[in-house]
Amino acid sequence: MRDPRERLRDMLEAIANIERYAVRGRDAFERDELLQSWLVRNLQIIGEAARALPQDMRVQAPAVPWSKIMGMRNILVHDYFGIELAVLWDAVEHDLPMLKQEIELLLDALERRAGV
């Protein structure tokens, strides 16, 4: 089993991957299938990493909507024909900045406790 800190780093790496291409803007995202697939894949990684975090880790970051993140992952993996691009873009624009900040805080706290 992977260390929870590794899962949090996975989430931060996926967020960075999304940020790298999100700067192209919504229009580019809506026109580019590869960009859409890239974003979906990285959102799946975030959801899978969140799902794999122990519950005691998740309660340490109550501002993070863990159930919504895992729910989105389930939709992206199992209901891919039901994916709405507007919902994905909204998550990128409005939810990822807060998620990034919360994950960084949680990871920092865990590393301080571990003496890293």
Q: What is the pLDDT of residues 61-116, one digit of tens each?
A: 999 999 999 999 999 999 878 889 999 999 999 999 999 999 999 999 999 988 86
Residue 16 located in a structural domain: yes
Helix, coil or strand: residue 94: helix
**Do the beta carbons of residue 110 and residue 8 sit within 8 Å?**
yes
> What residue has token string 């260390």?
3
Residue 67 located in a structural domain: yes
Predicted confidence at residue 82, as pLDDT, reads 83
Q: CA-CA distances (angstroms) from residue 100 to 6, 18, 71, 93?
A: 15, 11, 18, 12
User: Phi-psi region for residue 25, left (φ > 0), alpha (ψ -120 to 50) or beta?
Assistant: left
Residue 63 located in a structural domain: yes
Residue % of the chain over a pLDDT of 90: 91
Residue 79 located in a structural domain: yes
Residues known to be catalytic: 73, 78
Domain that holds residue 92: 4-111
Residue 116 located in a structural domain: no
Q: At what angle do helices 96-114 and 4-22 cross, to 10 degrees?
A: 150
**Do the beta carbons of residue 58 and residue 4 sit within 8 Å?**
no
> What residue has token string 């299938």?
33
**In the chain, how many domains are there?**
1
Residue 85 located in a structural domain: yes
